[in-house]
A and B are shown apart, each in its own frame.
Chain A
Amino acid sequence: MIAIINTGCANINSVRFAFERLGRTPEVITSPEQLKNFERAILPGVGHASVAMKRLVEGGWQQAINEYQRPLMGICLGMQLLCDSTEEGNVQCLGKIPGQVNALDVGNLTSPHMGWNNLILNREHALTKGLDENDQVYFVHSFAHTVNDATLVSGEYGQTFSAIVANDNYAGMQFHPERSAKVGTRLLQNFLDWQV
């Protein structure tokens, strides 16, 4: 069973529907005590990091996520919340993925980084299985994790940044696999197949 952690952010349904299209029925959970009963978990997120982090802390999720030993993946802001800290609102995050999240330096490009873009494979991993250099996924963000040892796949927009990260049983995708057509579907299937 897959849990989708709901901390009050709006669009939980996009992620839920994507797993349903893969033949799974995820459960949206709203209390941290429920987390340990699930085989895998997704931490979605949209909006402002400081608001989302405050909700996680006040809702008691920090400890539950810390103690969780099965695959847990953050999507978009959810991925950023798993890192050490973020420049957005200058907040400490969950510290499960080493590294900082900083404002994307887009130069003279439009911001936010919104749209379909390529992926660059840095390191083979169960989560990157079947990924092709021509594959594109859908990004919407203006902050990003700086490439380091946790980076499996990177992206390029004004600067290089992490697109997929993993550390132990924690992982993150900066883009929206649930809205990235066939490529995204394959990446979500990789998450379902990932054994830690």
Chain B
Amino acid sequence: MLSKRIIPCLDVKDGQVVKGVKFKGHEIVGDILTLAQAYSEAGADELVFYEISASVEKRLLDVNWVESIARHIDIPFCVAGGIKSVADAARVLERGADKISINSPAIARPELIKELHDEFGKQCVVVGIDSFYDEVTGEYLVYQLTGDPNASSRTRYKTEEWVKRVQDLGAGEIVLNCMNQDGVRNGYDNKQLSKMRALCDIPLIASGGAGTMQDFVDVFQQSQVDGALAASVFHKNVINIGELKQYLTDNQVAARLCN
């Protein structure tokens, strides 16, 4: 049976792993290679490397990191940060990434999704969506350039329409970052995730809000997502990946146990 994926995310700035709260006030939480290797050995099902300042600074992420990490881990590796063209993506994949994830550049130029799909295949193309719940209007809105609080801005898209659009353009997977939940460890936004799950049939990854092991059980059981991404709970040793896998299994969620 296909396992639900547990995906630690390394948000990187200036060569260090950082973590903010609701995309603001980033603090350094660790060393890139040390964390990457530790997660790979602990049983993570995939690793995401995301250079958060790349898109804001209008440049491609530092590809040297891609190669260093790819050499040392033996799990699938997804890379994000300022990938704006087929040529950028090729540089990242050549260095050893298995998938590339795009976010703000896809909003600026949606055809990029189709170009990447046609060149590298659907399985390589992940689209990250930063979605903000507006409590006043009750709408889910797509934001861009969230790597820097000063550059972050609302886009013309509602989350529902953007989810459908990126799937139609050829995305192979969607990572939905629920901004209101980011870094506060109050649980995933299961209501929003269930809503978006119903709109697409490609793999959907939940992001934002993990605080306890029960939050992972809830998101898999209530939102039917394929994977759950988290950062601070793993970086700060709040949750151990091996124990989490056992907890999921004990709660009838299909997980890959690593002994």
Contact = CB atoms under 8 A, between A and B. Distances in A.
12 contacts: A11-B94, A21-B71, A21-B74, A113-B2, A115-B203, A116-B3, A116-B256, A138-B76, A142-B122, A142-B123, A180-B74, A181-B75
B172 A114 contact: yes
Contacts of B257: 134
Contact of A157 (B2, B74, B201, B226): B2
The 9 A-B pairs with the shortest beta carbon distances in the complex, nearest first, are: A13-B96, A10-B93, A116-B3, A140-B123, A116-B256, A47-B121, A136-B256, A17-B71, A179-B76
Contacts of A109: 2
B2 to A, nearest CB: 5
Most buried by B among A18, A110, A117: A110
Interface in A1-40: 10-14, 17-18, 20-21
A111 interface: yes
Contacts of B204: 110
Given A17-B71, A179-B75, A112 B122 contact: yes
B48 interface: no
Interface string B73-109: 0111100000000000010011111100000000000
Given A18-B74, A179-B75, 17 more contacts: A10-B90, A10-B94, A11-B93, A11-B94, A11-B96, A11-B97, A47-B121, A114-B123, A115-B2, A116-B256, A141-B123, A176-B98, A179-B74, A180-B74, A181-B40, A181-B75, A182-B258
A171 B2 CA distance: 24
B70 interface: yes
Interface residues on chain B, size class = 35 or more
Interface string B222-245: 000011000000000000000000
B198 interface: no
A110 B97 CA distance: 23
B45 interface: yes
B151 interface: no
Most buried by A among B5, B94, B98, B257: B98
Contacts of A192: none
Contacts of A134: 257
A110 B258 contact: no
A6 B227 CA distance: 32
B173 interface: yes
Interface string B115-144: 000011111100000000000000000000
Contacts of A172: none
Contacts of B124: 46
Nearest to B76: A179
B104 to A, nearest CB: 23
Given A110-B201, A179-B74, A181-B75, A14 B96 contact: yes
A30 to B, nearest CB: 14
Interface string A159-196: 00000000000000000101111101100000000000
B173 A114 contact: yes
A11 B258 CA distance: 26
B74 A184 contact: yes
Nearest to A11: B93
Interface in A113-132: 113-118
Contacts of A141: 123
Given A21-B74, A113-B2, A11 B123 contact: no
Contacts of B203: 110, 114-115
A46 B121 contact: yes
A17 B74 CA distance: 9
A113 to B, nearest CB: 7
B172 A112 contact: yes
B215 interface: no
Contact of A115 (B5, B43, B93): B5
A48 B70 contact: no
A113 B173 CA distance: 11
B45 A115 contact: yes
A117 B74 contact: no
